[in-house]
Structure 1
Amino acid sequence: MPAPILTAQQVADFRRDGYVIARHFFSPEEIQKVYACALEDEAMRKNALDLNDQTGKKTRLTLWFTPGDDIYSLLLRSERMVKSAALLLDSDAPVCHFHTKLMQKEPRVGGAWEWHQDYGYWYKNQFMFPDQMVSIMIALTHANKENGCLQVIKGSHKLGRVNHGFAGEQVGADMVMVDNALQTMELVYSELQPGDALFFHSNLLHRSEANLSEHPRWSMISVYTSQSNPAYNETSTAYNVPLQVAADEALLESNAGAATSHADFLKKEADPALKDTGWENTVDTGNK
């Protein structure tokens, strides 16, 4: 059986709601292979970033830009991922990879992500067209209310970019607009099973609670953009290089491991989104 890509109805749902969930997008065997590799990956641990939320709890992620032939890249370059992304990007230009994050929300200590739009971060990278950017979250473990699954405001991508300031060490959306959106639109808890895929627009408002449960919440989030989407304040170059699509079956058939020791990992001090430009102080993010 061919691996899934998004249906016409799912594409329509994404356009309307700003997100869509594709169940069983990857098989249990595929997810187990990736998750087992991530758990043992020393490079992922060494290059992880800890960003404090407003309570001081740490949110941990490892972010890199250029895909290769390792196990993570076989997932993010898989035909089902790239073809599905192409259906959602507002461009006919080739699909490129901006970055992938391994999100590591550990039991009892994993912090919250404050309300934000991804384009609230990427606006500082000076990407020009938010409709030409899409994130795909692949659940490596169960994600539910108890362990801090993603919450989204349905349809909030239609607000356009909301002003963002600093919330703890994170970038947070203007809470006046967030509160207005919550009064106007539906709040949805995006509960996922391992292998489910959550596709979401760069302007969708979303957040997640701290993980106070006994169970980890790990996921991979790959961000795709069109080659026609310039970024005038981005030093990495992967975002402008068309992806080399990998066969869907390569993930299971390959003996590739976590060859990420020489990957171009993001360093906190190099992230444009975390640099203070002054205007962030005028935004009410609820920062304590």
Structure 2
Amino acid sequence: MKLTQDQIRKYEDEGMLFLPNYFSEAEVSVLREELSLLPENSSGRMMEKDNQTIRALHGVHIHSKIFQSLIQHPLLLEPAQQILGDSVYLYQFKINMKAAFTGDIWPWHQDYAFWYEEDGMPEPRIVNVGIFLDEVNQFNGPLYLISGSHKEGLIRFEMHKSAVESEDVSWEANVSANLKYCLDNATITRLVKRGGIIAPVGCAGSVLFFHGSIAHSSVPNISPYPRRLLLITYNSIENIPRPSGKPRPEFLVCRDYTPLQPVEDDVLLQQV
């Protein structure tokens, strides 16, 4: 799968590219079934504030041949290589769950702020790929993204009050609803006046490519519709992080820098 030059220009201009109906319902069903078979107590599981609802699952590809194959699917890998203009390796794999009624907020932030501050990533030569495992609609907490905000580079952020007051340096402190590095209201107002807010919605199987520096967030899900988003993050092999302290866990930040190669494009349907 190769992106057109118009699609690449759109990504470079807006910091995102939305491709509805990218995977078939049969392929998405394979992914949902695999998700249901994952071990309940994986080391990368993050809970919501209620300590009952799963907020996110990190690094679950380690336990799944299907998810490992998905990482190398040409519909995802080849566009990532085009966008970054380089060979890539897997940087992160996670599933943000956004449960019905209880899925909590993700405040305004840039992913690259965490990767720069926590992991020592030299540059934002990285791309996120989000796969809709459920229909995403206006009610169940779609991603909000500010078009063009990636062009600002690393924006000055605010440390969340809980991060300032706490000595907690665990990985959980960076993926809770109280995100450590957030963008303030004045910054968001300025960025939205220029680029506006886009909230891609669509059926399960739709895919969103978005820049590591784009400002984004999501509201709580108070609807009866779950919104599970599978996220694969590819990094250029020329952009390997250099952490200044103890590296974060490998289920959160992969340290296998082997360049990825595409597999057969019907790899998911082979599992049916």
What TM-score range do you get, normalising by the shorter chain?
A: 0.7 to 0.9
The aligned counterpart of 2:210 is 200
Kindly state the Cα deviation for residue 144 of structure 1 after the two structures are TM-superposed.
Answer: 1.6
TM-score by length of 1: 0.78
Aligned partner of 2:77 among 78, 82, 105: 82
User: Size of the alignment, in residue pairs?
Assistant: 247
Q: For 2:135 and 2:221, locate their aligned partners in 1 and report how far apart those are by CA, in whole Å.
A: 12
SS at match of 1:240: coil
Answer whether contact 2:15 2:214 (CA < 8 A) is retained.
yes
SS at match of 2:97: strand
Aligned partner of 2:194 among 176, 184, 190: 184
Aligned: 1:38 with 2:35: yes
Instruction: Specify every segment of 5 or more residues in structure 1 that has no aligned partner in the other structure, as ranges.
Output: 256-288
SS at match of 1:134: strand
RMSD: 2.5
Q: For 1:231 and 1:193, locate their aligned partners in 2 and report how far apart those are by CA, in whole Å.
A: 35
Q: For 1:50 and 1:169, locate their aligned partners in 2 and report how far apart those are by CA, in whole Å.
A: 12
Query: 5 Å matches for 1:81-160?
Result: 81-89=76-84, 91-92=85-86, 94-124=87-117, 125-130=119-124, 132-160=125-153
Aligned: 1:169 with 2:178: yes
Kindly state the Cα deviation for residue 201 of structure 1 after the two structures are TM-superposed.
Answer: 0.4
The superposition leaves residues 26-57 of structure 1 with CA deviations (integer Å, 9 ceiling, x where unpaired) of: 1110001101221232247674212559xx99
Answer whether contact 2:133 2:230 (CA < 8 A) is retained.
yes
The superposition leaves residues 60-104 of structure 1 with CA deviations (integer Å, 9 ceiling, x where unpaired) of: 111118767611121121112110101111x43x21100111111
Answer whether contact 1:6 1:22 (CA < 8 A) is retained.
no
TM-score by length of 2: 0.83
The aligned counterpart of 1:19 is 16
SS at match of 1:138: strand
CA pair 210-223 structure 1, distance change in 2 beyond 3 A: same
Q: For 1:121 and 1:57, locate their aligned partners in 2 and report how far apart those are by CA, in whole Å.
A: 26
Answer whether contact 1:66 1:238 (CA < 8 A) is retained.
no
The aligned counterpart of 2:58 is 63
Identity of aligned residues (%): 25
SS at match of 2:199: strand
Q: For 1:48 and 1:180, locate their aligned partners in 2 and report how far apart those are by CA, in whole Å.
A: 35
The aligned counterpart of 1:275 is none
Kindly state the Cα deviation for residue 180 of structure 1 after the two structures are TM-superposed.
Answer: 1.1
Answer whether contact 2:136 2:203 (CA < 8 A) is retained.
yes
The aligned counterpart of 2:230 is 220
Q: For 2:60 and 2:235, locate their aligned partners in 1 and report how far apart those are by CA, in whole Å.
A: 12
Select between 136-145 and 242-251 the one with higher mean Cα deviation: 242-251
Kindly state the Cα deviation for residue 247 of structure 1 after the two structures are TM-superposed.
Answer: 1.4
Q: For 1:98 and 1:64, locate their aligned partners in 2 and report how far apart those are by CA, in whole Å.
A: 10
SS at match of 1:217: coil
Answer whether contact 2:54 2:97 (CA < 8 A) is retained.
yes
CA pair 184-136 structure 1, distance change in 2 beyond 3 A: same
The aligned counterpart of 2:271 is 254
